[in-house]
Amino acid sequence: MGKVTLQTIADALGVSRMTVSNAFSRPDQLSAELRERVLAAATELGYVGPDPRARALKRGTTGAVGVLLTDSLAYAFTDEVAMRFFSAIAEELTRRGLALTLLSAAETDGHVPARDVSMDGALVYSCDPKSPAVDWLLKRHLPLVYVDQTDRPGIPSVNVDDRGGARAAARHLIDLGHRRVGLLYSILGSELEVDADPQPSALAHATRERYLGWKQELGAAGAETVNIGVPIGGRDHHYRAGRALLDRPDRPTAVLCFSDVMATDVVRAAQDLGLRVPEDLSVVGFDDSPVALQLRPTLTTVRQDFTEKGRLAATLLTEALAQGAAPARARHHMLPTELVVRESTAPPPSVTAAAER
Amino acid sequence: MGKVTLQTIADALGVSRMTVSNAFSRPDQLSAELRERVLAAATELGYVGPDPRARALKRGTTGAVGVLLTDSLAYAFTDEVAMRFFSAIAEELTRRGLALTLLSAAETDGHVPARDVSMDGALVYSCDPKSPAVDWLLKRHLPLVYVDQTDRPGIPSVNVDDRGGARAAARHLIDLGHRRVGLLYSILGSELEVDADPQPSALAHATRERYLGWKQELGAAGAETVNIGVPIGGRDHHYRAGRALLDRPDRPTAVLCFSDVMATDVVRAAQDLGLRVPEDLSVVGFDDSPVALQLRPTLTTVRQDFTEKGRLAATLLTEALAQGAAPARARHHMLPTELVVRESTAPPPSVTAAAER
DNA sequence: AGATTTTTCTATATCGATATAGTACGAGCC
DNA sequence: GGCTCGTACTATATCGATATAGAAAAATCT
C-alpha cells in the first residue's frame, strides 16, 4: 500500500501539490470551494494532515520544547517541588500550543536526547551544569532558558534568591539564640559526608547558594556548624543524615535543611530519638512545599513561588523562540524568597531553661 | 552566515556527503582514519551532528514518544498517582533512549499536539475517550498503548482491575455491617451532582468501573447508596462533596471514594463536623497512594501497582514500535488490585452499640 | 477601454539528511 | 591470469512537505 501524501491528493484532484498544502496550512490562499473539495478528497483517501516530520524540516520548527533534567527522569517525578514547577510550565506552554518534551541527561547506548531529539528550544532545569547534555544544547544554538542554574552570559535565566532566603533562615536561628547549627545539603555523590567542608564549586547551584547563605550569616554571628552532605535520590539518606547529626555527643540545637522533604525526615529521626521539635531541636526547611504544612509540628521554612518561576521560565522561552536567532539582551531574573516561621523552631533548650529559672 | 550541514564538511574535505553522514551514523562504513578527519573537521566548522528534523524525515523515527493526557497538563502534574505512573514510564523509556513528550488534549488556536507533533508512538492515558485528540492519534496510525481506558480491539492496553477492587472494598463494608453507603466518584462537569444516578457511559473508564463494582456488590447485599458526582480538578470540590454527604439527615455510615486524595478531604470534612473516623464514619479510598499512610487514621484503600503499570505500558509501547506497522495480536493486560484494610474502617455505630450492650 | 490590482492557482527549488546501488581497488584463491 | 570477494568510498534518488516567485484569470480603478 502506497503512502498517502499531498501528492496523492493533488493527483486525484488534478491540482498542484502546493494547492493541497495550502488547503491545510494557509486557507486564505485558495478559494473556499476548492478547499472544501481538497479536504473532502483528503478525508476520503485517508490523509490525516501534513506530516509533522516533513513540516518540521521545511519550516524549521517542531512545536515542542524540551526540558532538560537530571540523569534520572524517574526521580524528578517523585519530587513535589519539581512537579509544581512543571505544572506551571505546562500550563503556560499549553496556552501557546507547545508540547513539552522531557529529556534525560543520561546517555543510553548512543542515544543522547539533548543532541538527537528535535525541539524548538529548551529549559535547563536544576541539573549538573557540567553535564554533557547542556553542552549539546548550547552547541545546537537552541534558544535556552536556565532555571536554578548559575547564570551564563547571553542566556536568559530564572533564579530564586536562594542565598537571601538561606540567610534569613540562619538569622532566624541566631535570633532565637542558637549557636550550634547542623547544615544538611545535597551532594551528587552516593555516600553521606559527615563533618565535610564542601567545595562550593562541587555543589549544584541551588545547593551552593543556600549553603553559602547559611555559612555567611552563621559565620558573621560566630556560630558553629556541623556540615553533612546528603546524597540525592533516596529518602533513607535523609533519615540517616538526621541520625548522624543527632546521635553525636555535640549535637547541635538546630538544623538547617536543603529542602522541606529532607527536613521532614530529620524531624522523624529526631522524634525516633525521643527529641521534641522544637523544644529540643529546631528544624528549618526550604521551599515551602505542601509537606511543610502537613508536618507536625508545622515547618518553619523559606518560601519560593514555584508557579511564578515556571510561568516566567516558560514565558522567557517563548519570547526567545519568537525572536529566533537574534538574541535580545539576555535577562537574568531573580525571584524573591521569604522566611515563613511556623512551629518547628524555638529557642535552644539552654536559653529556654535559663528563661524558666 | 551560512548554515553548517553535512555538505559543508564534505566540501571542506573533498569527500562525498555520504561519507560524512556515515562518519556520524555508521562508523563501520569508512576507515577509522578518515572518520577521525571528518569528525575533526566537523568540530572545527561547528557542526553539531545530523539535524534531528532531517533525520526524522528520512529515517521515519524521531526518538520520542508521546503521552496524551487530559486537557489540563498542569492538573496532571499535581496528581501524585499520575506522577508515580509517569515516573515508571520515564524510567523505562529512558532506558531505551527515548524521550517523553507530554501532549495536552486541548486545542489552542489551531495547534493540536496530537496531530502536529512528531513522535514514534504514544500512550493514551486516562483521558476522555471521546476526545478528538485520541482520534487524531488513531488516524495517524501511530503505535499506541491504552492505559486506564476502555479496551479497543487492535490496540494493546494496560488496565487495573478497578471493578474487582471496588467490589472488594464494598464487600469489606458490607461485612462490617454497613447498609447505607456514600459513593463519591469523579465526573467531567463542573458542578457537584448530589443524589445523581449517573449514566455509566458518561463516566471516564476507571470511574465507571469502580462505580459499577461498588454498585454491583452493594446491590447484591441490598444496601442503599447515596451517590455524589464530584468534578475533577479542585480539592475544594472534594471537601464540599464530603459536606454534602455528611450534613444530610440520612447520613450514611460509610463512604467509598474514587481516590485516596478524595478520601483525605472527606475525612477532613467529617472531622470538621465532629464525626470520628472510623467510629462514626468509615472511609475507603482507592489507589493506595502515599497519602493513604500519612492520613490519620491511616486509610483503608484498594492498592494498585503504579510502577508495574507504567513499566508494562512503556514496554508494550516499545514492543509495538519495534514491530512497526505490522500489528501483532494486541494484548489487553489487566493488573490485579488488592484491598488494604487500615484504620479508617470499622463497624457502623449501631452495630458497635449493639455489641456493647 | 486600458492600466492596475487582487485573487487563485502552479512550477520550481529547497529544507538536511539517509538508503540504495554502484564503482574502484586490492587481496585471496586455484 | 582470471575469478570471486571484501573494503572503502561515491552518485543519485528519495523522505514529505513549504517558501518563493510567477502566470492566468477576475476584479477594480480611472
DSSP collapsed to 3 states, B210-246: HHHHHHHHHHHCCCEEEEEEEECCCHHHHHHHHHHHH
Spatial distance from the CA of B22 to the C1' of D15 (Å) = 18
Q: Determine contact, residues B67/B101, Cβ cutoff 8 Å.
A: yes
SS3 label, residue B297:
coil
- HSE (side-chain half, CA atoms, 13 Å) at B166: 25
Residues of A in contact with B55 (CB under 8 A): 116
- Domain layout of chain B by residue ranges: 6-50, 64-160+306-334, 162-304+339-348
- HSE (side-chain half, CA atoms, 13 Å) at A100: 29
The confidence score (pLDDT) of residue B110 equals 86
The topology under which CATH files domain B6-50 is 434 Repressor (Amino-terminal Domain) (1.10.260)
**A116 in contact with chain B, both atoms CB, cutoff 8 A:** yes
Q: Determine contact, residues A279/A352, Cβ cutoff 8 Å.
A: yes
The pTM (predicted TM-score) of the whole model is: 0.92
Tens of pLDDT along chain B (357 residues)? 578 999 999 999 999 999 999 999 999 999 999 999 999 999 999 999 999 999 999 999 999 999 998 878 888 898 889 999 999 999 999 999 999 999 999 888 889 999 999 999 999 997 777 889 999 999 999 999 999 999 999 999 999 999 999 999 999 999 999 999 999 999 988 899 999 899 998 899 999 999 999 999 999 999 999 999 999 877 889 999 999 999 999 999 999 999 999 999 999 999 999 999 999 999 999 999 999 998 999 999 999 999 999 999 999 999 999 886 545 567 899 999 999 999 999 999 976 666 655
Strand D positions with any atom < 7 Å from protein CB?
Answer: 7-12, 14-20
**A54 in contact with chain B, both atoms CB, cutoff 8 A:** yes
Strand C positions with any atom < 7 Å from protein CB?
Answer: 7-12, 14-20
Peptide bond into B297 cis (omega under 30): yes
Residue in A88, A91, A97 closest to B109 by CB: A97
Q: Strand runs (DSSP E) across A156-265, as ranges?
A: 157-160, 180-187, 193-194, 224-231, 254-257
The confidence score (pLDDT) of residue B131 equals 87
Residue in A63, A77, A106 closest to B86 by CB: A77
**B2 in contact with chain A, both atoms CB, cutoff 8 A:** no
Residue in B63, B73, B116 closest to A116 by CB: B63
Can you tell me the distance from the alpha carbon of B328 to that of A241, in angstroms, rounded to the nearest whole number? 51
Amino acid found at A274: G
The confidence score (pLDDT) of residue A19 equals 96
CATH 3.40.30.10 given to domain B64-160+306-334: no
The CATH code of domain A162-304+339-348 reads 3.40.50.2300
Report CA torsion sign: A42, A43, A44, A50: positive
Walking along chain A (357 residues) 10 residues at a time, the average pLDDT comes out as: 88 96 95 95 96 97 94 84 94 94 90 96 87 94 95 94 98 98 93 92 93 98 96 88 94 97 96 95 97 94 97 95 67 97 95 60
Residues of B in contact with A84 (CB under 8 A): 77-78
Domains A64-160+306-334 and A162-304+339-348 share a fold: yes
B138-to-A48, B155, B328 alpha-carbon distances in Å: 10, 10, 17
List CB-based contacts (under 7 A) with strand C: A 14-19, 22, 29-31, 33-34, 54, 57-58, 60; B 3, 5-7, 17-18, 21, 24-26, 49-51, 53-55, 57-59
The distance of A297 to chain B (nearest Cα, Å) reads 14
The confidence score (pLDDT) of residue A17 equals 96
Q: Determine contact, residues A242/A268, Cβ cutoff 8 Å.
A: yes
